[in-house]
Chain A
Amino acid sequence: MHELSICRAITKLVECHADGSTVRIVRLRVGELRQIVPDTLAYCWGLVTEGSDLESAALEIERVPAAIRCAGCRHVHTLTEPILVCPECQGRDVEIVSGEEFLITSLDLMEV
């Protein structure tokens, strides 16, 4: 359950950016190659923020599909399973072009 410590890290970043304002929504972008389970993350977010200034802040999670680009034939392929092989030429020299993201993208703050 690393989601718990991840939520603690998120609260720190959010508090720093919110700078005292009330936070309505925290938006995350999570690549599908990350072993982060959105439901678990949301559950842990509830635990970690309970009774704090962030209690009323909801998490919105945007998932990013995993994609690879083949160095041999330049083919770009969206993964449906974690097999890092080019489906066009069977090349194994592939570069991950998306799917490893794990970011806070934006916050909605109450206007004062």
Chain B
Amino acid sequence: MGRFHRHDESEHGHGHGPDAPVGDHSGYATGTDRIEILERIFDENDHTADANRRDFDQADVLAVNLMSSPGAGKTALLRETLLRLRDRLRVGIIEGDIETSIDADRLTGLGAEIALLNTANGFGGECHLDAPMVRSALSRLPLSNLDLVIVENVGNLVCPAEFHVGEHNRAMVYAITEGEEKPLKYPVMFRSVDLVLVNKVDLLPHLEFSIEDFYRNLRNVNPRVEVIETSARNGAGLDLWCSWLTARHAELAAARARPASAARISPSVSPHG
């Protein structure tokens, strides 16, 4: 169940739009058979996401899916995050990159386990990570020795929002250089996340950017989202972000310590219910 309640036809069997054809009244070519299916197209991805989620849960690992447009500052923030968390949490990073290992290289030597996922396959590479890709990276991470796995998704505001990878929480990096109207242009992404890191705030004095307009647009698509203003350049907000991660991890551990309710805590953010 996502942040918003969903009504999915595969469970309810209704939900035709007003213009939807009802029944077959098309004088249809004979010689064909219609078979009804009603199957969710993301089912296969979601099943693998569930398997990933079980692996995270079994290893007491908090998984966070970090998304953004290209260049918003995910890798820069992760560098700073690793420097601050290294004595508190054991971190693994799944680094989604279309072609190169540049971002993975930027994160090495900071005490984290890194698994690189190149998504190029034929047509110029996938623009997102899906659950099977993350699953293949998981086999290269020593999950039982980790507390936190952050998935740096491919920089893209459209596609990653559609693919649940097994994460407990979704966060996105939004850079103030991107313009105030982004939430309205990419509502699926902005309303699928639990937290927005509003990054590059060190540039505020130099930009004609109205942070109030941005927040209004953000609340319009996602009224309950949490926000932290950050700068990977001057370190603003990074302690808050690290505390947010530490708190989510502690919540997870606390929920697991309670017998019956083990594992399923804090909003699961599956975009597909």
The reply to whether A34 and B38 form a contact with Cβ atoms under 8 Å apart is no
* B interface residues, how many (CB within 8 angstroms): 51
**Distance between B19 CB and nearest chain A CB, rounded to angstroms:** 8
**Distance between B158 CB and nearest chain A CB, rounded to angstroms:** 5
The reply to whether B32 and A84 form a contact with Cβ atoms under 8 Å apart is no
User: Which listed segment binds A: B121-129, B202-210, B229-237?
Assistant: B121-129
Complex Cα distance, B44 from A34, in Å, reads: 18
Complex Cα distance, B101 from A4, in Å, reads: 24
- B130 CB contact (under 8 Å) in A5, A17, A100: A5
Most chain A CB within 10 A, of B40, B41, B126, B189, is at B41
Complex Cα distance, B159 from A64, in Å, reads: 20
The reply to whether B15 and A101 form a contact with Cβ atoms under 8 Å apart is yes
Q: A84-B221, A92-B223 in contact; A104/B33 too (CB < 8 A)?
A: no
Residues on A with C-beta less than 8 A from B126 are: 2, 4-5
The reply to whether B8 and A82 form a contact with Cβ atoms under 8 Å apart is no
Q: A17-B35, A102-B40 in contact; A2/B163 too (CB < 8 A)?
A: yes
The reply to whether A97 and B7 form a contact with Cβ atoms under 8 Å apart is yes
Residues on A with C-beta less than 8 A from B161 are: 35
**23 A-B residue pairs with CB within 8 Å:** A2-B159, A2-B162, A10-B41, A17-B35, A35-B158, A35-B159, A82-B221, A83-B184, A83-B220, A84-B223, A85-B223, A92-B223, A96-B4, A98-B7, A98-B15, A100-B8, A101-B9, A102-B40, A103-B38, A105-B36, A108-B33, A109-B33, A111-B32
B residues near A, CB below 8 A?
4-10, 15-18, 20-21, 28, 31-45, 123, 126-128, 130, 158-159, 161-163, 184, 186-189, 191, 219-223, 272
